[in-house]
Amino acid sequence: MLKEDHRSGNRLLAVLPQAEWTRLAPHLVPVDLALGQVVYESGDRLDHVYFPSTAIVSLLYVMKDGASAEIAMVGNEGLIGIALFMGGETMPNRAVVQSAGRAYRLEARFLKEEFHRAGPVQRLLLRYTQALITQMAQTVVCNRHHSIDQQLCRWLLLSLDRLPSNELNMTQELIANMLGVRRAGVTEAAVKLQDAGLIRYSYGHIEVLDRAGLEKRVCECYGVVKRECDRLLPDMPAS
């Protein structure tokens, strides 16, 4: 059984009432997720859900020609596998690790049992689902109407919100796959941000030097997603 202080790494687990935590904790298994690891492919049966703590997982739609684009990212605020309790049973998209780290894996049957109690867990998961849907919708709008450097700012800020530091290990090729744009476009956008003194980029590593500067440069989409997440999900208890 996980200790009480271990659950603070994930926002949903951290705010579970004691009775619900006591039922779920014995079944939560800590796992390491590697950069680029595919957690689920589209159409896979959801045998487990994952509650990231230090990892970030991207939800991607992949076209027949192999092209892909991120529709949302999930970090310590959420879980991978909402289709399980929404009635789908299978994963509708690919889930791939964007930032390596840890997560807690839970067998699907235990989450379904808790959800169908129609208590605090159900209410919390539905609120999280609403926040995730908002992120998906705003990502579509952003990718259609805003510049690549604005999209990159949004992506960086959303990632930082889910990480304990201001550094990300991520190649421009992977970022391009996430945003659904050409690598050259990401390179140009990254150079602009670096020349402005907002980030420092070397191959496979991005350090954010000026978060406030990114927030001034980013489009409105980041604020919409962050405000909705903060509105719908309780804050983590102070450690």
Q: What is the pLDDT of residue 202?
A: 83
Has residue 188 been placed in a domain? yes
What's the confidence (pLDDT) of residue 3? 59
Which of 108, 141, 174 terminates a domain? The answer is 141
> Is 160 domain-assigned?
yes
For residue 174, give the nearest of 160, 186, 161, 159 by alpha carbon: 186
Tokens 């530091």 correspond to 165
Same domain as 126, residue 13: yes
CATH number at 212 reads 1.10.10.10
Using a cut of 0.75, tell me whether the model's pTM lies above it.
yes
How would residue 209 be classed by pLDDT, with cut points 50, 70 and 90?
Answer: very high
Is 155 a member of any domain?
yes
SS (H, E, C) 208-223: ECCHHHHHHHCCHHHH
Q: Quick one: average pLDDT of 161-184?
A: 81
3-state secondary structure of 229: helix
How many independent structural domains does the chain possess? 2
Q: How far is CA 91 from the centre of its chain?
A: 15
- Tell me if 224 is assigned to some domain: no
Residues 118 and 53 in one domain: yes
Q: Tell me, what's the pLDDT at 65?
A: 84
Within a domain: residue 29? Answer: yes
**56 and 119 belong to one structural domain:** yes
Residue-range definition of the domain harbouring residue 43 = 4-141
Are 70 and 135 members of one domain? Answer: yes
Q: Is residue 137 part of a domain?
A: yes
* Domain identity same for 63 and 168: no
Cα–Cα–Cα angle for 112, 114, 119, rounded to 5 degrees:
130
Whether the per-residue pLDDT at 237 is higher than 60: the answer is no
Reported confidence tier of residue 8, pLDDT bands at 50, 70, 90: low
For residue 110, the model assigns a pLDDT of 97
Q: Say yes or no: 45 and 160 in one domain.
A: no
Q: Are residues 63 and 175 in the same domain?
A: no
CB neighbours of 8 closer than 8 A, spacing ≥ 6? 14, 236, 237, 239
Q: Which of 90-99, 163-172, 188-197, 211-220 bottoms out in mean pLDDT, i.e. has the lowest?
A: 163-172
Are residues 136 and 164 both part of a single domain? no
What does the DSSP 8-state code read for residue 103?
A: E
Same domain, 104 and 64: yes
Indicate the residue among 141, 164, 192 that finishes a domain: 141
* Domain contains 69: yes
Paired residues of 201 in beta bridges: 206
The confidence score (pLDDT) of residue 138 equals 92
- What's 123's domain CATH number? 2.60.120.10
CA distance 214 to 168: 15
Please report whether residue 157 resides in a domain. Answer: yes
